[in-house]
């Protein structure tokens, strides 16, 4: 192989406020995905970046909108993530992820146990943020973050992940 492989060393600086941390996360995600057409590679690297930049998570990753196994109906299918193995397929409209996908609206859930139909992939999860990724007005995936802490996510997190979802619209 010619040359040496690239070493990526994206790490959050100490003492940042939430908005600054998301600006850095977005810059790193932009740098890693801008010239790469492979959706799986881009989701994998962004899952790793979210894990690296955002404290107090127990799961960070993607579900993609894809055909069901035995019908052409669409459902959510597990994509690249960091965390414990998770549910593979989620029907549209079910759980936090399915609700985000079918409504096209961010779901900021302070207490997952109070969310009707919440799917507990990891019993440690207490709060969750799910943001749809839209392309040409259609939901093509969702970004899912779980935390073992109640009310871990704020509107600043929702705004940051929505900006990330917009960046990734045509890259995943
Ligand atoms: N809790 C999600 C399922 C996915 S896992 O959190 C990774 C839900 O209710 O849709």
pLDDT in tens, 117-164: 999 988 999 999 999 999 999 999 999 999 999 999 999 999 999 999
Better pLDDT: 129 or 10: 129
Does the pLDDT value for residue 165 go beyond 60?
Answer: yes
Give the Å distance between the CA of 96 and the centre of ligand 1: 6
- The band of 2, judged by pLDDT with boundaries at 50, 70 and 90, is low
pLDDT band, residue 4 (cuts 50/70/90): low
Looking from the CA of residue 118, the nearest atom of ligand 1 is 9
Tokens of 94: 């079910």
When pLDDT is averaged across residues 49-62 and rounded to a whole number, the result is 97
Q: How far is the CA of 12 from the centre of ligand 1 (A)?
A: 26
What is the sign of the dihedral through the CA atoms of 19, 36, 38 and 140? Answer: positive
How far is the CA of 1 from the CAs of 4, 5, 8, 35, in angstroms? 8, 9, 18, 20
Q: Is the pLDDT of residue 15 over 80?
A: no
Domain ranges of the chain: 18-168
The average pLDDT across 42-66 equals 97
102, 92 Cβ separation under 8 angstroms: yes
Fold of 18-168: Beta-Lactamase (3.30.450)
pLDDT at 56: 96
Q: What is the pLDDT of residue 3?
A: 61
C-alpha 61/C-alpha 73 separation (Å) is 23
Q: What is the pLDDT of residue 137?
A: 95
pLDDT tens-digit series, residues 56-108: 999 999 999 999 999 889 999 999 999 999 999 999 999 999 999 999 999 99
What residue's CA is closest to ligand 1, atom 5?
A: 121
Instruction: Give ligand 1 pocket residues (Cβ under 6 A).
Output: 59, 86-87, 90, 95-98, 118-119, 121, 125, 128, 144, 146
């Amino acid at each position: 192989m010619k040359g040496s492989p690239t070493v990526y060393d994206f790490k959050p600086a100490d003492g940042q406020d939430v908005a600054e941390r998301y600006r850095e996360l977005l810059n790193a995600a932009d740098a890693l995905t801008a010239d790469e057409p492979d959706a799986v590679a881009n989701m994998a690297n962004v899952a790793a970046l979210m894990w690296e930049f955002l404290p107090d998570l127990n799961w960070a990753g993607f579900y993609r909108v894809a055909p069901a196994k035995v019908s052409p109906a669409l459902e959510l299918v597990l994509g690249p993530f960091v965390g414990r193995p998770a549910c593979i397929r989620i029907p549209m409209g079910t759980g936090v992820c399915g609700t985000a996908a079918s409504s096209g609206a961010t779901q900021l859930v302070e207490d997952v146990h109070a969310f009707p139909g919440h799917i507990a992939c990891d019993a440690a999860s207490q709060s969750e943020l799910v943001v749809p990724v839209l392309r040409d007005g259609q939901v093509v995936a969702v970004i899912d973050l779980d935390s073992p802490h109640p009310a871990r996510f704020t509107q600043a997190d929702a705004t940051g992940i929505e900006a990330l979802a917009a960046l990734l619209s045509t890259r995943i």
